[in-house]
A and B are shown apart, each in its own frame.
Chain A
Amino acid sequence: MSEQVDAAGGYRRASPWPVFVALGFALSELGIFVGLYPVAVGGLLLLAGSVAGILRESDYATDVWRPLAGLGVAFAVLGIAVVGTQVDPTTLDVLAVVSDPGGIVGRGLAIAGAGVILLVVGLVGYLLE
């Protein structure tokens, strides 16, 4: 398969990314479900960074910035959707739930927060190059 073959025609037999993809996935899951928000945000950043890295390494992406920003958008949308489930549909009072985040809202904000950080990093990286 083309993705395995490097420019010299040999097979890549080592990659630093898989272990961090797995660690990022584990940390984000742990953080989100147990409610450890810093772990959730850090885990998502590690996951997205490693996914971007592995996509770049295997030539599925031409740089790391666009995958980072893309994952950032996805996480942000997901996080906002999670927060949205807790907003009262009659008043649409977003401030009320966000200013006092409990269980579900806190988790949604953590996901969205990680998404925003990734989006900013992706955009800045893309623009600076």
Chain B
Amino acid sequence: MAGQQLALTVLMGLVLVGVAALLTRIEDWRRYTALAGGAVAVGEESGYGHREKPSGVIRWLTTVDHKDIGILYGVFALISLAVGGLMVMVMRFELLTPASDVISPQLYNAFLTSHGITMLFLFGTPIIAAFGNYFIPLLIGADDMAFPRINAIAFWLLPPGALLIWGGFLIPGIAPSQTSWTMYTPLSVEQAHLGADLMLLGLHLTGVSATMGAINFIVTIFTERGEDVNWANLDIFSWTMLTQSGIILFAFPLLGSAIVMLLLDRNLGTLFYAVGEGGGTILWQHLFWFFGHPEVYILVLPPMGLVSYILPRFAGRKLFGFKFVVYSTLAIGVLSFGVWAHHMFSTGIDPRLRASFMAVSLAIAVPSAVKTFNWITTMWNGRIKLAAPMLFCIGFVSNFIIGGVTGVFLASIPVDLVLHDTYYVVGHFHYIIMGAIAFAVFAGIYYWFPIFTGKMYQRTLAKWHFWLSMIGTNVTFFAMLLLGYMEMPRRYASYEFDPAVAPLDAITLLHQAATVGAVILLIGQIIFVWNVVQSWLEAPTLTDEDPWDLKNDGLFTREFGWNADRLALPDGGEEEAMADGGEAEADQ
């Protein structure tokens, strides 16, 4: 033990010395001594170049430029998407047969836990931050985010968070967490795995990161708007990011506190969630879902904003009922905090409380439906151009309707009591998360691909990506809805049924259909990765400043205007050597 402590101490000492050595290479320390000595004029620039970015890896480690940080967020999120996706592929193969014969139930549980956490916290939230960071300053006419360094800190909290969340798999000899992403007590208190502690710590870090990012977005949108951007003409994506950031501000710190209490219960003998003591086990569910349900809207509002922003540009019309889309966004933001107990209808809470939560849960469907009707009406009689971003937007609307309507049924207490903890719930929320949120993300990536790469993606591959994703999503998750009707419970590595309840053959067949759908999805995503990577590296540089032909319809927007300025630069748009991406030079 003493030897281990000594080794750790030496290791930490080496880390600190290494950090100091690295800093001396990239930051001029003499700046401080000179200032303190008073011998040099205050404010003299340090040796480290600030107007130009350093090159190589150091550029990416030290950048505080919102566009670079946006790309870092995006790359991180897509790597997480791949990790979470591969985890669930193993799970789907496990479910091909009723017996547990591909992986052990323990590993299945670990993958189940990690898949959920990875997709929600390491893919969903960061990919939205990627779009927000890159495009919000461009959309609102700001030079950068309000707090560029805090922006960078928020991003750099994510990689250590991810390593901790996956720590149970990465560190030999410790078991990964098997608590499911909801981490319900008493299971999560009593499960002795070190992997669970590491996952909770990682989750806490991602929460801190999201909160820092949200503060930054709010301040940026309030204080850094260009002179000609006001609340009346603020774009819809910024509105949804603003609302989402507001929700994060109230939801994530609560998750952080609840996690710290859980860690204290696990490691330091407190009794916050102990059975019969303190708040009891139900306290965790209240705290978790008070965060957890707003989290759903944290994840879905900006993608809704993306669709509201992109869809009109391929329909040749302005967004129908813009004001009402904004109002419904704000309404969802407020109502999202009044629905959490609909996750707890079957826990035995007071029936009067249940009824009020049912009412609010049904009410929140109204603003969501307002948006849906607005998207449909925008397309009505429009000149629809079925480019890849538009296909994904239409796919979003279609999947969102199925995911949303199945959710309305779940909001009803009697229906929920029957379907609770079945695959119906899994099918419902995957229609939203994969079918809607991920589709909007793909729409955003394709729509803005010309801006962040300066290239164009391969259109045929993008359409393959869309159709495989659309078919795969519906095969997989519709099968899950049917599995739910047949009372297949969630979170099991193996299954067997009394023939009086459900025929095992039918259950197995539906599981196999879901797995086939997942394979189709996987093929689609491999095409996506291939398309993005190859197009980014090899496609010819795009010189068309209006690749979507937006000017004809009067739908040309500020971020493409910024891109056009960049393309118009005499040096061919090489942004490395310019102040803030070329605007300053372009104006001179």
Contacts and interface: CB of A to CB of B under 8 A. Distances in A.
Contacts of A19: 61-62, 152, 156
A13 B55 CA distance: 12
B54 interface: yes
A38 B9 contact: yes
Interface string A36-55: 11110111011000000110
| Category for how many chain A residues contact B | 35 or more
Interface in B17-69: 19, 22-23, 26-27, 32-33, 35-37, 43-45, 48-54, 59, 61-65
Contact of B149 (A7, A38, A54): A54
B19 A18 contact: no
Interface residues of B, number: 64
B64 A21 contact: no
B537 interface: no
A77 interface: no
Contacts of A27: 12, 160
A26 B205 contact: yes
Interface of B: 5, 8-9, 11-13, 15-16, 19, 22-23, 26-27, 32-33, 35-37, 43-45, 48-54, 59, 61-65, 143-144, 146-150, 152-153, 155-157, 160-161, 164, 194, 197-198, 201, 204-205, 208, 223-224, 263, 267-269, 579-580
Given A10-B50, A30-B164, A38-B5, A103 B15 contact: no
A80 interface: no
Contacts, number: 151
A12 B50 contact: yes
B51 A8 contact: yes
- Interface majority SS (helix, strand, loop, mixed), chain B: helix
14 contacts: A1-B146, A16-B23, A22-B155, A25-B208, A26-B157, A27-B12, A29-B201, A33-B201, A37-B5, A45-B16, A46-B16, A62-B35, A63-B32, A129-B33
Nearest to B12: A42
Contacts of A26: 157, 160-161, 164, 201, 205
A6 interface: yes
B149 A129 contact: no
B62 A14 contact: yes
A14 B50 contact: yes
Contact of A36 (B8, B150, B152, B155): B8
A124 interface: no
A63 B32 CA distance: 7
- Interface majority SS (helix, strand, loop, mixed), chain A: helix
Contact of B62 (A16, A46, A103): A16
Contacts of A11: 50-51, 143-144, 579-580
Enumerate the 5 nearest inter-chain pairs by beta-carbon distance, A residue then B residue, closest first.
A42-B12, A18-B152, A22-B156, A7-B43, A26-B160
Contact of A4 (B144, B198, B201): B144
B91 to A, nearest CB: 28
A39 B579 contact: no
A21 B16 CA distance: 12
Max chain B C-beta neighbours (<10 A), residue from A7, A36, A54: A7
Nearest to B581: A13
Nearest to B220: A1
Max chain B C-beta neighbours (<10 A), residue from A14, A21, A64: A14
A29 B144 contact: no
A22 B157 contact: yes
Contacts of B156: 18-19, 21-23
A12 B53 CA distance: 9
A15 interface: yes
B153 A22 contact: yes
Contacts of B580: 11, 13
Given A41-B12, A46-B15, A103-B268, A14 B157 contact: no
A14 B53 contact: yes
Contacts of A15: 62, 64, 148-149, 152
A30 B12 CA distance: 13
Contacts of B144: 4, 11
Contacts of A1: 146-147, 223-224
Contacts of B152: 15, 18-19
Nearest to B269: A103
A38 B15 CA distance: 11
Given A27-B160, A57-B149, 6 more contacts: A6-B45, A7-B43, A11-B580, A13-B148, A17-B149, A103-B269
Max chain A C-beta neighbours (<10 A), residue from B12, B16, B164, B268: B12
A78 to B, nearest CB: 14
B50 A103 contact: no
A22 B149 CA distance: 11
B44 to A, nearest CB: 7
Nearest to B48: A14
A54 B19 CA distance: 14
Contacts of B155: 18, 22
Contact of B205 (A25, A36, A54, A129): A25
A18 B149 contact: yes
Given A14-B64, A16-B26, A37-B5, A7 B45 contact: yes
A104 interface: yes
A37 to B, nearest CB: 7
B51 A33 contact: no
A92 interface: no
Contacts of B147: 1, 3
A53 to B, nearest CB: 8
Max chain B C-beta neighbours (<10 A), residue from A13, A33, A58, A129: A13
